[in-house]
A and B are shown apart, each in its own frame.
Chain A
């Protein structure tokens, strides 16, 4: 646990260096929130009642998606790629740390930092400028918070797996780009899954990506509540476990390759 805090401290020191980037990102979030707000408002005035939820819920959903992206933008894949390409991965393997846990601590530390410094301000922007609603009751807030932890967990492990893949391919840009396009679609980050055509909805429901955005955000706007919310949490837990096991297995293979063939 101490290590997690240590990495949070580290992330704080690392990120405060880039003040310009910080303001750019807040500005970027603001722009994205604005466009989402505007798109849904226009669509609702043209065809009210076609989307299954109220405009407030929909706007809240969309804006939350943007705030969460900031919160989750801490995957280790870029770090792993850089370390492997420059050969600095040696210095990571020099440390008496399990590589998977090391990366988890690192990402969790950065996540706690970005939660405080970027996600909460984005949330505040959403609340004051764009009508982001608060969940209102304790149960929903609590479910949302728990769901968010698993959302991070699932996101982290998929990113970790991508990073592990780069040890073999040595390049991540094209994969990463394709991946993020897929994720923002299948995770329901921008358009909620219930608006998908049947086939696409079925596909997204068997993929792990819904656990990242769709589930916590639906819990927040209460389209998933009570038993359905618990069931959705179950889906998240399932994916978290599967991905942890798969990540550990994949990294042991990659590590062997790295150490046997040479970096």
Chain B
């Protein structure tokens, strides 16, 4: 569905000089500086996949999404979106994709939501029957009717995002780009959007590329994760695989019968001690939880215990940090 090969994007920015004369000189003979936002990335996304696209701020996520939408022209490399080259066939491509940008709205600020959707219907030539069917769907899943007569500028952020989501899907796009659609949305509205995205993906086989900073979104929605940092893909694979590959550490939480002095079992480390509870961290390839538990229980009586998997957020942080060390030299 989406094919990206050796995609690179350099931004050219005018270097501003200081002071008034500097300003005049900038106008007459501008000096450009180049920054590489996307650096040789390649990936394929198959039809019906829901891919989480994550990375720290400024990693190049938005830039690559803009290239997939045909808004930006790549510096080099190849993109194909459902057989089309986006920047060459921007308008045709626009009909087969939908996009939600969390930071901006596609709707018209001063008009009621339903009027904006009608304008979308006219722009995308959506047949009346399809328009009605989709409105019903949006009413069911997004409760659109609650605020469809409210002008966009009076909507809460969660409502606005729901309206934007409806606008992006009105023309039944095959592919959906979600660029931080959850930004600033409260927990309840977030959950509702998640359910909606999941249903659209499952029932209509809409392929989606989803940018977020909230790892819960990724855990609940995405079967596949791509992590991008400094313009490069640093991880591409399933969530489970990411856990095994990067989440080698487990935490064993033990509650003892009474307060006991700190101690360190073999192949593990004590990370926290609080009252009668102690937290041990261990590498699951060096030792197994059962060995560890056997060892500890032979020393002290245990009341309760639990093995904690590493939080996905922590894993991602490890990947970001590992990558920073590696690539910093190239970009400095």
Interface residues of A (CB under 8 A from B): 2-3, 6-7, 9-10, 13-14, 17, 86-88, 90-91, 93-98, 256, 259-263
Contact = CB atoms under 8 A, between A and B. Distances in A.
A263 B63 CA distance: 10
B181 to A, nearest CB: 14
Nearest to A4: B122
A42 to B, nearest CB: 42
Given A9-B115, A17-B151, A94 B106 contact: yes
A262 B74 CA distance: 10
Given A6-B119, A7-B119, A95-B94, 19 more contacts: A3-B122, A3-B123, A6-B122, A6-B123, A9-B119, A10-B119, A13-B112, A14-B108, A17-B110, A87-B104, A90-B71, A91-B104, A94-B71, A94-B99, A94-B106, A96-B92, A256-B73, A261-B12, A262-B9
B289 to A, nearest CB: 50
Interface string B21-59: 000000000000000010000000000000000000000
A203 to B, nearest CB: 27
Nearest to B62: A90
B202 interface: no
Given A6-B118, A10-B119, A262-B37, A91 B11 contact: no
A262 B11 contact: yes
Contacts of A90: 66, 69, 71, 101, 104
A98 B91 contact: yes
Q: Which 4 A-B pairs have the closest CB atoms?
A: A96-B94, A13-B111, A14-B110, A6-B122
Most chain B beta-carbon neighbours within 10 Å: one of A2, A6, A94: A94
A87 B63 CA distance: 13
Contact of B101 (A10, A91, A97): A91
Contacts, number: 79
30 contacts: A2-B122, A7-B119, A10-B108, A10-B111, A10-B115, A13-B111, A13-B115, A14-B110, A14-B111, A17-B110, A17-B151, A86-B104, A87-B104, A90-B71, A90-B101, A91-B101, A93-B70, A93-B71, A94-B69, A94-B106, A96-B95, A96-B124, A98-B91, A259-B71, A259-B72, A259-B73, A260-B73, A262-B12, A262-B37, A263-B72
Contacts of A261: 11-13
Given A91-B104, A262-B63, A96 B91 contact: yes
B232 to A, nearest CB: 18
A9 B103 CA distance: 27
Contacts of A87: 103-104
Interface of B: 9, 11-13, 37, 63, 66, 69-73, 87, 90-92, 94-95, 99, 101, 103-106, 108-112, 115, 118-119, 122-124, 151
B104 A95 contact: no
Nearest to B72: A259
Nearest to B75: A260
B261 to A, nearest CB: 59
Q: Is the interface of B mostly helix, strand, loop or mixed?
A: mixed
Given A259-B72, A259-B87, A261-B13, A91 B119 contact: no
A100 to B, nearest CB: 12
A2 B119 CA distance: 10
B310 to A, nearest CB: 37
Contacts of A2: 122
Contacts of B118: 6, 9
B17 to A, nearest CB: 16
A263 B112 CA distance: 29
A87 B71 CA distance: 12
B103 to A, nearest CB: 8
Contacts of B112: 13
Nearest to B124: A96
A181 B85 CA distance: 45
B273 to A, nearest CB: 50
Nearest to B35: A262
A1 to B, nearest CB: 10
A97 B106 contact: no
